[in-house]
Structure 1
Amino acid sequence: MRAGPLRHRIRIEAFTETQDKTTGRITQAWAEFCTVWGKHEALSTRDQLQAQAIDSSMTARCRIRYSSKASQIDSTMRLYFRGKYWKIDGDPVPDNESGLEWLTLNLAEGESEWQ
């Protein structure tokens, strides 16, 4: 995949639990999983209507280059782009050719408590 269309800096975050070594208290927080170049785009009205027909809240998509790290992205993670959090709606979809060039992330509006 050519790098030209991948002009947006995208941060993927995972929900983590860490335990304090002295108190034993478990802390839950979002932490950066990886930062990648991608192409973030809003869905057309037609695509949004099709998503609603299958009971999906998808409103955008993001295409990123495939890598071993990117292949670990799943629907429990979230995406941060231009000051807004996005929920990853389903697992990433690989390209149709080899499955090793890019991944498409289907995105929905982030949860209100994420802001």
Structure 2
Amino acid sequence: MRGGKYLEQVLVERKEDTGALDGYGNPVGLNWVEFSKPRGNFRETAGKDKIAAGRLEGKATGTLRMRSYSKLRTVTSADRVKIRGQYWKIVGEPIHTDAGLQEIEFTLERGGVVE
């Protein structure tokens, strides 16, 4: 597998619990922390605008392919990705794109209802 096809710097972040609780015992202080900084191949698809509940909702989607290794295989939809200065939500579970399990693909989404 050639490294030249992974041109984008990717930041995968995961929420970390600081252990702090509010007056009712609910966790507070969840912070996004760096989980991994791999390189990837990102392909953004055209955004879609639609009206939902009287508000303009614009979403963009994309796919991100990276080399598969044990740490990346633990990434879930609870994590997030930063590419090209924008945060993307991971939609669904990662899939392997080849029989050799050397490459992993994520479906990403950003945008939504404008407040």
The 3-state SS of whatever aligns with 2:10 is strand
| 2:43 aligned residue | 41
Name segments (4+ residues, structure 1) moved above 4 Å: none
Residue 19 of structure 1, CA deviation: 2.3
Offset, 1:18:
1.3
Compute the TM-score of the two structures, normalised by the length of structure 2: 0.74
1:85 corresponds in structure 2 to: 87
CA contact (8 A) 2:44 2:60 kept: no
- What aligned pairs does 1:1-115 form with structure 2 within 5 A after superposition? 1-19=1-19, 26-43=28-45, 59-98=61-100, 100-109=101-110
Would you say the 8 A contact 2:46–2:60 is kept in 1?
no
In structure 2, list runs of 5 or more residues that go unmatched. 21-26, 49-58
Name the SS of the counterpart of 2:37 in structure 1.
Answer: strand
| Bigger strand fraction | 2
Structure 1 stretches of 5 or more lacking a match?
Answer: 49-56
- Indicate the structure (1 or 2) with the bigger Cα radius of gyration: 2
Q: Distance in 1 between matches of 2:60 and 2:17?
A: 27
Question: When the two structures are superposed, what TM-score results if normalisation uses the length of structure 1?
Answer: 0.74
Q: Tell me the SS of whatever aligns to 2:73.
A: helix
Task: Compare the two structures and name the one with the higher helix fraction.
Answer: 1
Give the RMSD, CA atoms, in angstroms. Answer: 2.5
Cα offset for 1:97?
1.1
Query: What is the number of residues matched between the two proteins?
Result: 98
